[in-house]
Chains A and B, each alone.
Chain A
Amino acid sequence: MEKILTKKALPQWVKTLTSYKVYFPKKDQENRWNYLEVGAEDMNLDFLNTTLPPKKLLFPQNEVFLEFFESTDGNQETLEVKEILPGEEPTVIFGVRPCDARAAWLLDKVFSGDFTDPYYWKRRNQTILVGLGCDTPPWENCFCLSVEGSPYSEEGLDILLTDLGNRYLVKSLTENGAKLIQPGKALFQEANPEDQKKAKTIQAESVKKIKRQLKNARGISAKLKGMFDSNIWDEESMSCIRCGICTYLCPSCHCFDINDEVDSTSPLEGKRVRTWDTCQFPDFTMHSSGHNPRPEKASRLRQRLFHKFRYFVENYDKFQCVGCGRCISLCPVGIDIIKVLDKVNEHGT
């Protein structure tokens, strides 16, 4: 079902969502956007895209699994362990870009399957994603089309908004979406055919505005097969500084590390915490023996691309890349995943 909501009415709608924690993109003084809980004045969606994807709300950078305390009586030591699960906290995120929602949809696959991750799903199930289609690409490096996404893709979203100037075309995609509209339904009108037609044209136009393109994405995973030992990894990674930007800011990267963060060794007290980790850090695959199967940054860049364009495709028949372009725009030394993959296209067989 498609409805119309005037931009003026948006804050009023949000006010009806009393039982939810509501996030909107907010701009800081350096023009960077970030999803925050905001006041009515900031409840608008005229934004580009956030530096940190909404991933941070579904798969937070640190997640406490459990807490432990040791108590000792003479030689008798007992270790108490308390599991911590995310609390009940229905959440709505407004202004999720389709690519980022698509990434969430990919994460769903990662955190389910043989093993279902209770921490992720607890959050995922109570979070509603209200998407905003991209009439113009938020970054100059957007390339969602090349990786089977689009400025108006719907995967992972509960609601998709299309900006019609002073109004939004509101398309509810899931039950959750419908549920969200309920409390403020008075504010919505039925969408008429002109509105839908206008939306169609806007969406068609937007596709043309995307400048960057990755050629032959599907072909790449086959080509990568033969390129494990290629020297292009050395060349392309020469300028890599082994920081975590490309992966930490990636909406679909999901590698993590689990540490016991000990607050006191005696009596033993601390938490077991999951934190983001990245294949770009030198210690990512460090063995306790000191051996590191990915000793230098070439192998780390290779791993990043292999994971996104080969292993993930083999496992899920999807790219683990949604073409948001963050890793290109934010890399301090301008490493460009599209350029690297073009090279793969050239060299690969």
Chain B
Amino acid sequence: MKRTGVFICHCGINIAGTVDVKKVAQELSQHPGVVHAEDYVYMCSDPGQNLIIQAIKNKKLDHVVVACCSPNLHETTFRNASTAAGLNAFRCEIANIREQCSWVHKDKSKATQKATKIIKSTVEKVRRNESLEPLSVPVTRRAMVVGGGIAGIQAALDLANSGFEVILVERSPSIGGHMIQLSETFPTLDCSQCILTPKMVEVSKHPKVRLMTYSEVEEVSGYVGNFKVKILKKPTYVDKDKCNLCDECSIVCPVVVPNEFDLGLTGRRAIYIPFPQAIPASYTLDIKACPGLLPIACGKCADVCDAKAIDYDMKPQVLEEEVGAIIVATGYDLYDKENMAEYGYGKIPDVLDGLQFERLCSASGPTKGQILRPSDQKEPKEVVFIQCSGSRDPENHCAYCSKICCMYTIKHAMLYKHHVHDGQAYIFYIDIRSGGKGYEEFVQRAVEEDGVLYLRGKVSKIFEENGKVKVWGVDTLTGKPIEIDADMVVLAQAMRPSKGAQELAKKLKLALDKDGFLSEAHPKLRPVESVTSGMFLAGAAQAPKDIPEAVAQASGAAAKAITILSQERLFHAPTVAKVFTNLCTGCGMCVQVCPYDAITLKDGKVEINEVLCEGCGTCSATCLRSAIQVKNLSQNQVHEMINACLGG
């Protein structure tokens, strides 16, 4: 007969208040196989744990049930206590009689009955548990960071500086992300490029970092500590080691296409360097724009290149790499102006979005830092800034708040005033969200020092009329309609997950939230872990964030990754599926349902890869002959638990 011990926690009055713990202990002591049952005010306290340890030793207990709070809280505590007393951790189970009983019921006798049933069924389970030791696997001690924006760069640097190799994958020709496009940053107004470029250089020069720009993740397999990734390196057709940035090629290039870096405010050639400080510092031949790679098609660039850096025969490469952890920092894109019917579908040249305005303000921008309207290059005297453009609008656009618009709009208004002293800046807002260090002060400064005019309300319509951009709106404070003949309108467009993030999520088996941002494992307690162990999230890929938050999360993600990479071996829960070979007929249904490809069919029988198996048990419910079951949650155990739940 098994010797099971049951320990019932009062949790002060949290449990004892609604559950008659004495009675429960009494009942359980009657339960066959239970040789010890006691209650104590705080089982998780040291004296409480000692009770358990002593009882295990003195009463030679071989199984332990602790009836207390949710296993998520103290399972580890009590399993450690059991091991301290020489019991295998898996011979200790938690019966949750707080969250799922005492806290949700008032009727004491009924709550007591229910608690008893919960504990009895846990006793029936635990007495059928087998001793298990964690499975361990070696760790590949390198990481991959996807996305070369500020978050990706920061994460890569933190990892590299901790001594781990990092592969930094960026799909565009240069790292830097959106931050490199910004002119100044709130609330300090220091120059974005000036603070970012040093980091870009550092990461590119770091001996531990392997930079892979113009590359995309093709495929990810494996599991935490042992991922196998395939990375597609797209051809730039320019040998960056030979290229001396003489720019001859782009001068002769006959093709002009909109410049992504300036968000279409300027053009670029088919062969181009994204921006002067681009890293890697090299030209890229945009094959989509190029008339053709054959010299007969064009070939001008190759002709003029003295460095002979241009190689039309460059082929795409697929590199296979092994990494132990992955950080996803794929960032954001702005919600397309084209979606804004009320604001002229982005067809009005002088209606810009936030990033375009950043470029206008930027010294390296199309206007060399002067604010001129795209339509006629005149200085705009009246500029209307519209917040929440596409945000907080569940009916037509995005339901969520994009978080940073309030601040950058203020910054924009300020920058505008600093360039055009006699100009007037209006800001349409729903309300100002300026939570953050120095943010509120920043807002005040804009209003007091720069006389930015805040209009509370929404803009109903924007249209062009004799060279002006007419803005119709309502001041919801005064209730008066507002009409402004603006020279320029700047829309604080909502933040969206960057294009392609969804496909990537599929490849990485990551979950997305309803808005398409990557889901964290827990909204509060695991904000940087993804649902897949060994993969972490950083930056705006997870939710709208400003720079300091993105950087903080990046460092957090790096730290989390390091908790894996710093291990020699990783330990994997041993509660995995097991096959009863003599019952298996090899129909392979379990192979089809396994989400982790952990089951394989070998000469008529299936086999489990215990490291890949996460123990979900979907296979066991699928098997028609119960030939595959999860250790320590076998069908037999569930059967007995059902019995105990319904007994009495």
Contacts and interface: CB of A to CB of B under 8 A. Distances in A.
Interface string A306-343: 00000000000000000000000000000000000000
Interface residues of B, number: 14
B496 interface: no
Nearest to A73: B30
A266 B647 contact: yes
Interface string B90-126: 0000000000000000000000000000001001100
Contacts of B31: 72, 266-267
B35 A266 contact: no
B521 to A, nearest CB: 38
B35 A265 contact: no
Contacts of A72: 30-32, 34
A264 B30 contact: no
A77 B32 CA distance: 8
Interface string A55-98: 00000000000000011111101000000000000000000000
Contact of B124 (A77, A265, A268): A265
Nearest to A269: B647
Nearest to B644: A266
Contacts of A265: 32, 124, 640, 643
Contact of B647 (A71, A73, A264): A264
A268 B32 CA distance: 8
A266 B644 CA distance: 7
Contacts of B516: none
A266 B29 contact: no
Contacts of B32: 70, 72, 77, 265-268
A71 B27 CA distance: 12
B386 to A, nearest CB: 69
Contacts of B120: 266
Nearest to A267: B32
B163 interface: no
A70 to B, nearest CB: 6
Which of A71, A74, A265 counts the most chain B CB atoms within 10 A? A265
A25 to B, nearest CB: 40
B451 interface: no
B299 interface: no
Contacts of A73: 30
A254 B29 CA distance: 45
A266 B34 CA distance: 10
Contact of B29 (A74, A77, A267): A74
A75 B1 CA distance: 10
Contact of A75 (B35, B124, B643): B35
Contacts of A71: 30
Contacts of B647: 264, 266
A267 to B, nearest CB: 6
Nearest to A75: B35
Nearest to B3: A75
Contacts, number: 31
A264 B643 CA distance: 7
B71 interface: no
Q: Interface SS of chain A: helix, strand, loop or mixed?
A: strand
Contacts of A75: 35
B33 interface: yes
A267 B33 CA distance: 10
Interface string B18-49: 00000000000111111100000000000000
A266 to B, nearest CB: 5
A71 B32 CA distance: 8
A298 B640 CA distance: 38
Nearest to A266: B32
Contacts of A74: 29-30, 35
B50 to A, nearest CB: 23
A177 B643 CA distance: 50
Contacts of B640: 265
B126 to A, nearest CB: 13
Contacts of A77: 32
Contacts of A268: 32
Nearest to A77: B32
Contacts of B30: 71-74, 267
Contacts of B34: 72
A265 B31 CA distance: 10
A71 B30 CA distance: 8
A268 B644 CA distance: 11
B642 to A, nearest CB: 11
B283 to A, nearest CB: 74
Nearest to A74: B29
A185 B278 CA distance: 119
A72 B28 CA distance: 10
A76 B124 CA distance: 19
Interface in B178-217: none
A73 to B, nearest CB: 7
A297 B156 CA distance: 69
Nearest to B31: A266
A262 B30 CA distance: 19
B167 to A, nearest CB: 54
Contacts of B29: 74
Nearest to A71: B30
Contacts of A264: 643, 647
Contacts of A70: 32
Contacts of B123: 266
A312 B603 CA distance: 46
Interface string B142-179: 00000000000000000000000000000000000000
A77 B33 CA distance: 9
A43 B10 CA distance: 69
Nearest to B582: A290
Nearest to B37: A74
Nearest to B127: A266
Interface in B626-645: 640, 643-644
A267 B124 CA distance: 11
A172 B6 CA distance: 69
Interface string A263-275: 0111110000000
Interface in B443-486: none
A264 B33 CA distance: 14
A337 B30 CA distance: 57
Contacts of B124: 265-266
Nearest to B1: A77
A98 to B, nearest CB: 46
A286 to B, nearest CB: 13
A71 B123 CA distance: 17
Contacts of B35: 74-75
Which of A70, A71, A75, A268 counts the most chain B CB atoms within 10 A? A75
Interface of B: 29-35, 120, 123-124, 640, 643-644, 647
16 contacts: A71-B30, A72-B30, A72-B32, A73-B30, A74-B29, A74-B35, A77-B32, A264-B643, A264-B647, A265-B124, A265-B640, A265-B643, A266-B33, A266-B123, A266-B644, A266-B647
The 10 closest A-B pairs by CB, nearest first: A266-B32, A72-B32, A72-B30, A264-B647, A266-B31, A75-B35, A267-B32, A264-B643, A74-B29, A265-B640
